[in-house]
Amino acid sequence: MQIIIVGCGKVGTALTQKLSKEDNNICIIDKKPEVVHELSSECDVMGMIGNGASYSVLQEADIEHTDLLIAVTESDELNILCCVIARKASRCHTIARVRNPIYSNEAGFLQEELGLSLIINPEQTAAEEISRLLCFPGAIGIDSFAGGKMEMIRFRLSEQAGLDGISLKEVADRVRCEGFLICAVSRGEEVFIPDGNFVLQEGDIISMVASRVNADRFFRKIHLQTNGVKDTMIIGGGKIAVYLAKLLSNVGIAVKIIETDEVRCKELCELLPRAAVIHGDGSDEKVLMEEHIEQADSFVALTGLDEENILLSLFAKKRVKRKVVTKINRSQLNEVISNLDLDSVVYPKLLTAQKILQYSRAMKNSIGSNVKTLYRLYGDRVEALEFNIQEDSMITRVPLCELKLKTGLLICGITRGNQVIIPNGQSIIKKGDTMIVVTNQLGLQDAQDILQNI
C-alpha cells in the first residue's frame, strides 16, 4: 500500500518503523527537518518537510495514488484538517489521532460528515485498557477478540498455581477444566509458541485464550484473583485519569485521585463528582501513607514522568492489596522495564500505533480473509491476529492437523456465530468463521499466510 504519515512524533515514528517493514510505500511529512531526515534514513522511506494540511505538499507526496493517510501530529485540529483535505484530493482512507475529549465525544459525527475512516484517542484507549486490568486484577494484560466473546489473557505463573514442571498436555487434567488454550509463554528473554510437550516453570508469563467464563473457571482452579477491585488510587489527574475515573465509577469502583496542581484539582472535582480528589504530591511517601495506600485495593501511576511512575509503582507494589498499573510513554524503556518487578504496564502510544496498524492490515484483503484484530505481544516479538474468513480457500474445510502451518504459529481460537471453539487437530475452519492465530512470524496479511510457502 501507499501510505502518508503526517507527524513524526512517538506515534508517527512507531508507525513508520512498523509499516515500512510490511511491504508498504511510506511518505512521512513533518515541519522539523532534522526529524524527517533522521526517520527517513532509519526506515528508508520518502521524507518531506512541510505542513501536512497543505494541498500542494500532499500533491507532492502523491496523494492522488495514496491508499491511506495517517495524521498523528500534536494538534487535533491539524490532524482533522489533514484528513479532510486528503479526502477532497483523493479517495484514500484517513485516520486522525484526536485527543480532546470534546472531539472524541463527537467521533461518530466527524467520521460520517467529514469522511474520516477512523478516529483514535490514545488517552481513552489507555483508560479502557487499564479499566479491563482493574476488573480482572489477576491478569497482566487482556486482549479481546470476536467482539469480546474470546479473550487472550496474560498472567504470571505463581507457586500457588501448582503447575511448575507440568507439560501443557497435562494441564487440563491437573486443573480439571477445559475450554482454554495456552498459546505463548515468555521466559526471561525468550518467547515460545509451545506445543503439548512444553513444560511450564514458575515465573513464566503465559498467554491463554478462552471465553471469559472459562477463563474465570481456570483462574479459580489455579488460585488467581478474578473479581474486580473495589477501589483504586490514581496518581496524576491528566486526561487518562478522567477517562479512567468515569469508567470505574460506572461499574461501582471507588476512585481517589491525587494531583499536585490546585487549579486542576478544582477542574477534576467538577468533571468527576463521584471521585475523591486530593490536592497533594503523589510522589511524596508521607502523602501516600496519609491517604492510606496500604488500604487501597489497586494503584495506578499516571504522572507525566515515566521514571516517577516506575518508582511509584515499585513502592506501591509492596503495599497495595491487589493490583498496580504503570503508564509508560517511552517504548525505548521496554527492555529495562521487563527486568523490573512491575505488575501491569500500559503504553498509550503503542496502543494507538497498534490500532492503526490493525486498520492498515485489514485494508490488505486479497481473498476475503482480512485482519480484523491485531495485537503485538511481548515487546513486539509475537503477534496475535484475528482473521475474518469471508470465502473458501486452502485453509477451509480441511482438518487443522492436515494444514502445513508455518513454524512458530498456532491456531488458538475459532468463533462461529455465537459459538467459541478452542480447536484441536480435527477442527475445521469454515467460511464465515473468525480465526485467531498467535505467531512469532510477524507481518501476516492474509489468513492463507499461515501456510508454508504461500
φ and ψ at 48, to 5 degrees?
A: -130, 140
In this prediction, residue 377 carries a pLDDT of: 87
Residue 68 has pLDDT above 50, yes or no: yes
The domains of the chain, with CATH numbers, are 2-120 (3.40.50.720), 127-221 (3.30.70.1450), 231-346 (3.40.50.720), 357-450 (3.30.70.1450)
The answer to whether residues 136 and 153 touch, using CB atoms and an 8 Å cutoff, is yes
The DSSP bridge pattern shows strands 190-192 and 205-210 to be unpaired
Q: How many angstroms from the chain centroid is the CA of residue 12?
A: 16
Residue 134 has pLDDT above 80, yes or no: yes
Q: What is the mean pLDDT of residues 295-304?
A: 96
Residue 369 has pLDDT above 90, yes or no: no
pTM of the model: 0.83
In this prediction, residue 333 carries a pLDDT of: 67
Q: What is the mean pLDDT of residues 351-373?
A: 76
The answer to whether residues 70 and 14 touch, using CB atoms and an 8 Å cutoff, is no
CB atoms within 10 A of CB 313: 26
Burial class (CB in 10 A: 0-12, 13-18, 19+), 153: buried
- Give dist(CA 443, CA 454) in Å, integer: 14
DSSP summary character for residue 429: B
Residue 103 has pLDDT above 70, yes or no: yes
The answer to whether residues 205 and 156 touch, using CB atoms and an 8 Å cutoff, is yes
In this prediction, residue 367 carries a pLDDT of: 47
In this prediction, residue 128 carries a pLDDT of: 92
Q: Which residue has the cell 461518530?
A: 108
Q: Which residues contact 254 (CB under 8 A, 6 or more apart)?
A: 230, 231, 232, 276
The three three-digit cell numbers of residue 296, written as one number:
487501597
Residues in the chain: 454
Q: Tell me the sheet residues that pair with 257.
A: 234, 277
In this prediction, residue 365 carries a pLDDT of: 57
Share of the chain above pLDDT 90, in %: 67
Q: What is the mean pLDDT of residues 284-300?
A: 96
CB atoms within 10 A of CB 187: 14
The answer to whether residues 358 and 383 touch, using CB atoms and an 8 Å cutoff, is no
Residue 151 has pLDDT above 70, yes or no: yes
89 closest CA partner among 9, 25, 4: 4
φ and ψ at 267, to 5 degrees?
A: -65, -40
- What distance separates the 2 farthest-apart alpha carbons in the chain? 66
User: What angle do the packed helices 239-250 and 122-135 form, to 10 degrees?
Assistant: 40
pLDDT bucket at 364, cuts 50 / 70 / 90? low
Q: What letter represents residue 68's amino acid?
A: L
Q: What letter represents residue 263's amino acid?
A: V
Residue 366 has pLDDT above 70, yes or no: no
The DSSP bridge pattern shows strands 205-210 and 150-156 to be antiparallel
Over the chain, what is the mean pLDDT? Answer: 91
Give residue-wise pLDDT tens across range 163-211. Answer: 999 999 999 888 888 899 999 999 988 999 999 999 999 999 999 999 9
Question: CA angle at residue 281 from 137 to 344, to 5 degrees?
Answer: 20
In this prediction, residue 21 carries a pLDDT of: 86
Residue 56 has pLDDT above 90, yes or no: yes
The DSSP bridge pattern shows strands 46-49 and 118-120 to be unpaired
pLDDT bucket at 379, cuts 50 / 70 / 90? confident
In this prediction, residue 454 carries a pLDDT of: 52
Residue 226 has pLDDT above 80, yes or no: no
